[in-house]
Amino acid sequence: MKVLICDKTEKEYIEQMRLAGLTVDVRDDITPEELPNVLPAYDGMVVRSRTKVRQPLIDVCPNLKVIVRGGVGLDTIDYEYARSKGIAVMNTPMASSASVAELAIGYMFALARSTYKATTSMKAEKWEKKLFEGDEIGGKTLGLIGVGNIGKETAKRALALGMTVIAYDPYVKSADGIKMVTLDELLAQADYISLHLPKTKESANMIGAEQFAKMKKGVRIVNCARGGIINEDALYDALANGTVAGAALDVFAAEPPTDWKLLKLDNVIASPHIGAATKEAQARIGAEVAAKLIEFAKNMQPA
Ligand SMILES: NC(=O)c1ccc[n+]([C@@H]2O[C@H](COP(=O)([O-])OP(=O)(O)OC[C@H]3O[C@@H](n4cnc5c(N)ncnc54)[C@H](O)[C@@H]3O)[C@@H](O)[C@H]2O)c1
């Protein structure tokens, strides 16, 4: 089986695939313009979030049998179309859960204690002790929107910190230690709101002006899920008028953002989609991608 690695993948796992007999070519800087000329020669491809696999690309690759996405979301792949063409589409659903949960929790601490503002102040050689009275996370209510793998990992950590955890997820009836509520109840009760759901037609812009109006004044928001679930203009207004005391954003409607005004607010902290960017998550993703492709290749061989 011939596999094209289209995005950064740990060398160790590329070697594992080669040792298992797969022909693996690495073009982890391949451009969308080059792909339609190169990919038709391959049976399989490995992508992360950089390479998008859309219908026109699938149409020119009649030999493609498998797409493996190292990561969780499949929104970068037209996966229903791919499946309709008989192409297997796989991802690594659990590999980055702990890393994303840790980032979300870390962001809650940063928002609660303004460590990012204190750092900027100290770098300017100021000692503004009185400016930085924060509050504790323990005893506060965390509202999770989406309680799949990452939501549950986040809940575990929040519960250990003494938070009350409530959640809205129309597809989950119950989860350990979490009180399931309606979206309106969550918006009214949460001191922190953290998003852990996929971006779908249903969830795009689901947090807009109407939802911000229902939130507790001074709520803090963390989005390590996908950009565009929160309407960025509505978030800007809610941060500017004080409804939202602080927001931490790892993901954006456009990546990199085309409009940076949200990032210029001093109650916004942000990172460039690094939820899964830890050594541990990358190693788990690489191992899972290799294992899935090796297994797929075995099943492809005639008995
Ligand atoms: N920042 C990053 O680098 C990073 C890394 C990994 C995943 N993610 C994002 O995190 C999301 C969650 O990942 P996961 O592994 O927990 O996925 P998951 O599939 O295990 O869980 C997602 C949960 O969201 C729920 N959900 C779906 N639609 C919903 C809706 N409209 N309202 C409320 N809940 C809804 C589902 O029922 C499910 O329980 C992914 O879809 C991905 O977009 C981001």
50, 113, 185, 255: the catalytic one is 255
Does residue 194 contact residue 144 with C-beta atoms inside 8 Å? yes
Query: What's the whole-number mean pLDDT along residues 273-283?
Result: 95
Question: What pLDDT is stored for residue 303 in this prediction?
Answer: 46
Give the Cα separation of 249 and 44 in Å (integer). Answer: 33
**What's the gap in Å between 302 CA and the centre of ligand 1?**
37
Alpha helices of the chain — where are they, by DSSP H? 11-19, 35-38, 55-59, 79-84, 97-113, 115-123, 149-160, 183-189, 209-213, 232-240, 261-264, 279-300
Q: DSSP code of 46?
A: E
Give the Cα separation of 269 and 85 in Å (integer). Answer: 42
Question: What pLDDT is stored for residue 73 in this prediction?
Answer: 83
Express each pLDDT in 178-237 by its tens digit.
Answer: 999 999 999 999 999 999 999 999 999 999 999 999 999 999 999 999 999 999 999 999
Query: What's the whole-number mean pLDDT along residues 288-303?
Result: 88
Query: What's the whole-number mean pLDDT along residues 258-273?
Result: 96
157, 196, 226, 284: the catalytic one is 226
According to DSSP, the residues that pair with 68 across neighbouring strands are 46, 90
C-alpha torsion angle, residues 145, 148, 150, 152 (rounded to 10): 90
Q: Is 197 in the pocket of ligand 1 (CB under 6 A)?
A: yes
Burial of 266 (0-12, 13-18, 19+ CB in 10 A): exposed
Residue closest by Cα to atom 2 of ligand 1: 275
Bridge-based pairing state of the strands 219-223 and 2-5: unpaired
Query: What's the whole-number mean pLDDT along residues 60-73?
Result: 95
pTM greater than 0.85: yes
Does residue 92 contact residue 67 with C-beta atoms inside 8 Å? no
Tokens 């990919």 correspond to 39
Q: Is 100 in the pocket of ligand 1 (CB under 6 A)?
A: yes
Question: What pLDDT is stored for residue 301 in this prediction?
Answer: 64
Cis peptide before 256 (omega within 30 of 0): yes
Q: Kindly state the greatest CA–CA separation across the chain.
A: 73
Q: For the chain, give the percent of residues with pLDDT over 70.
A: 99
| Six-digit token string for 219 | 């709520």
Express each pLDDT in 115-173 by its tens digit.
Answer: 999 999 999 999 999 999 999 999 999 999 999 999 999 999 999 999 999 999 999 99
Q: How confident is the model at residue 300 (pLDDT cuts 50, 70, 90)?
A: confident
Q: Is pLDDT at 302 greater than 80 in this prediction? A: no
DSSP per-residue codes, 218-271: TEEEEE-S-TTSB-HHHHHHHHHTTSEEEEEES--SSSS-S--HHHHSTTEEE-
93 CA closest ligand 1 atom index:
15
Cβ neighbours of 217 (radius 10 Å)? 9
The phi and psi torsions of 2 (rounded to 5 degrees) equal -100, 125
Residue closest by Cα to atom 32 of ligand 1: 169
Known catalytic residue at 273 = yes
Q: Is 146 in the pocket of ligand 1 (CB under 6 A)?
A: yes
DSSP per-residue codes, 18-29: HHTT-EEEE-TT
